Amino acid sequence: MTPEAYYKPRTLEEAFALKADHPEAFFIAGGTDLMVLMRAGICRPSALISLRHIEPLHQLTVGATTHIGAMTRVAELLEHPEIEERYPLLTAAARRLGSPQVRSVATVGGNLANASPCADTAVALLALGARIRLASPDGEREIPLDQFFVGPKTTCLFSQELVTEIILDEDARGTHGVFIKKGRVKMDIAQASLALWARVKDGQCEQIRLAAGSVGPVPLRLPEVERVLLNHPLDDDRISQASTAAEQTVQPITDIRATADYRRQLIGVFVRRALRQICTESR
Amino acid sequence: MTQIVSFVLNGAPVQVPADPHQRLIDLLRGPLHQTGTKEGCGQGECGACTVIIDGRPVNACLYPAPEADGTTITTIEGLGGDNTELSTIQRAFVECGGIQCGYCTPGMILSTKALLDRRPDPTEAEIRQGLAGNLCRCTGYVQIIESVKWAAERLRDKS
Ligand SMILES: Cc1cc2nc3c(=O)[nH]c(=O)nc-3n(C[C@H](O)[C@H](O)[C@H](O)COP(=O)(O)OP(=O)(O)OC[C@H]3O[C@@H](n4cnc5c(N)ncnc54)[C@H](O)[C@@H]3O)c2cc1C
Ligand code: FES
Ligand code: FES
């Protein structure tokens, strides 16, 4: 089946009404995931409902709480000076997503909703403790991002539900953020990736969140590793323990990009490197 | 459900029917007969189909044709201007050996243009980043990067 229509609603209400009329239709944002899947015959929507022309989904405001509209393109995120100033971790992840051509159209909402375990912005946003706002004909709800991903390529979205925005409550200035990604070549999806965010005082992590990509069915938070690190002096011994905990927590698989073993080792090394970096930065 | 899309292509307004499943590259190479834009992989990996939409480089093989409506698009056909002379970036690729079979070249040149429009004086690292979405099977990337530097220098001298 090829899509029989391409709709361009201007409001959320119109988009929901179209989806109600065409249950087999797909929402399309930038299309960098969906166009590939359609061409390969993996996705066969009856129609496409574009989210590009719904103005509120494009809003991006940085402040005490930061709101990133779901239709914000990865390139726009990258070019935003205040995002870089407050959340360099997010900028670093955005910079490693795809090519310039992909970043010109790929959206943050699409990166999350596509729910690939490798999704670069998802890994960064998990470490930043993001919440997301969802809207459906029944109303709106907000959930922590780590409750959004429920299984391989699946989210908790209902069929008529949309991601409308990503919310960051904390101004991350004065904190530490590290993003590390390894692909086979520079422009490739991750063999493994790690994002770390921490607030460090007197050589200890007062607050810390870690997330990893391509090492489980979904982008993963690593609470076991966070527990090892929270409120303990960041010495060599602690760093080794954290690295081992990370290797034990992740659930990688072997595929064309890397073996499970290699991915496990990468995560161990990334945790070590990220922690060393924040040790140096906070000295 | 076919719809008519209108956009500005290389400075001239065009109107063309677009089907819901079509991609921008289907319009360019089909009814618009602009075959300078190439299709390599058809899945966003190789950059042969790169065009500039509203100032940004985009893979025409991933861009839904109905979304071309209202945009301004530049393809390789739009670079030379009215006369038959090559533009500076095109000349750079010829001068520096950045072109062999030529299949990747329109995409390389459009990515270069998108980069230099924003960053007239890029570092080598920025050039590599800017071309990360374009593959070449012939020349080797050294000559391509030299071509971009050559073009950047000449364009800066001009302005
Ligand atoms: C060559 C190439 C390289 C890539 N490299 C990377 C990479 O390095 N890292 C990476 O993370 N990704 C990569 N990707 C994947 C892709 O570009 C990203 O996941 C992108 O962010 C998807 O966004 P989109 O707007 O294009 O989504 P679309 O393709 O439009 O949508 C993806 C899915 O999400 C749904 N959707 C979109 N928006 C919403 C919303 N607001 N609410 C609910 N559902 C929604 C759609 O229905 C669809 O099912 C790459 C893709 C290509 C083609
Ligand atoms: S043909 Fe579009 S990226 Fe290869
Ligand atoms: S010149 Fe032949 S692919 Fe680049």
- The string of pLDDT tens digits covering residues B72-127 is 999 999 998 666 789 999 999 999 999 999 999 999 999 999 999 999 999 999 99
Considering only CA atoms, which of A4, A222, A173 is closest in space to residue B66?
A4
Element (H, E) at A135: strand A131-136
Nearest atom of ligand 2 to the alpha carbon of A101? 3
> Are both B65 and B14 inside the same structural domain?
yes
> Are both B133 and B72 inside the same structural domain?
no
Nearest atom of ligand 1 to the alpha carbon of B43? 53
C-alpha to C-alpha distance for A54 and A17, rounded to whole angstroms: 14
Is the model's pLDDT at A198 over the cut of 80? yes
pLDDT per position as a tens digit, A28-83: 999 999 999 999 999 999 999 999 999 999 999 999 999 999 999 999 999 999 99
- B83 in a structural domain: no
Residue B7, domain CATH:
3.10.20.30
pLDDT at A1: 64
Q: What is the mean pLDDT of the segment spanning B59-78?
A: 98
Q: How far is A22 from chain B (nearest CA, A)?
A: 14
> Are both B12 and B74 inside the same structural domain?
yes
Percent of chain B whose predicted confidence (pLDDT) is above 70: 98
Q: Tell if the CB–CB gap between B21 and A100 is shorter than 8 Å.
A: no
Q: Tell if the CB–CB gap between A101 and B3 is shorter than 8 Å.
A: no
> Are both B9 and B51 inside the same structural domain?
yes
Say whether A160 sits in a helix, a strand or coil. coil
> Are both B9 and B65 inside the same structural domain?
yes
* Ligand that comes closest to the CA of residue B51: 2
Average pLDDT, chain B: 96
Q: Cβ distance A145 to A112 under 8 Å?
A: yes
> Are both B56 and B92 inside the same structural domain?
no
Task: Supply the range of the domain harboring residue B22.
Answer: 3-78
Q: What's this model's pTM, rounded to 2 decimal places? A: 0.96
| Ligand 2 proximity of B94 Cβ (cutoff 6 Å) | no
pLDDT per position as a tens digit, A81-116: 999 999 999 999 999 999 999 999 999 999 999 999
ipTM of predicted assembly, 2 dp: 0.97
pLDDT at A272: 97
Q: Tell if the CB–CB gap between A31 and B53 is shorter than 8 Å.
A: no
Say whether B126 sits in a helix, a strand or coil. helix
Cβ contacts of B129 on chain A, cutoff 8 Å: 100
C-alpha to C-alpha distance for A10 and A196, rounded to whole angstroms: 38
User: Given B11, B44, B78, which residue is the final one in a domain?
Assistant: B78
Q: Cβ distance B104 to B46 under 8 Å?
A: yes
Q: What is the mean pLDDT of the segment spanning B38-49?
A: 97
C-alpha to C-alpha distance for A214 and B21, rounded to whole angstroms: 31
pLDDT at A244: 97
> Are both B108 and B126 inside the same structural domain?
yes
> Are both B98 and B74 inside the same structural domain?
no
Is the model's pLDDT at A243 over the cut of 70? yes
Q: Cβ distance B72 to B58 under 8 Å?
A: no
pLDDT at A187: 80
- B58 in a structural domain: yes
> Are both B105 and B48 inside the same structural domain?
no
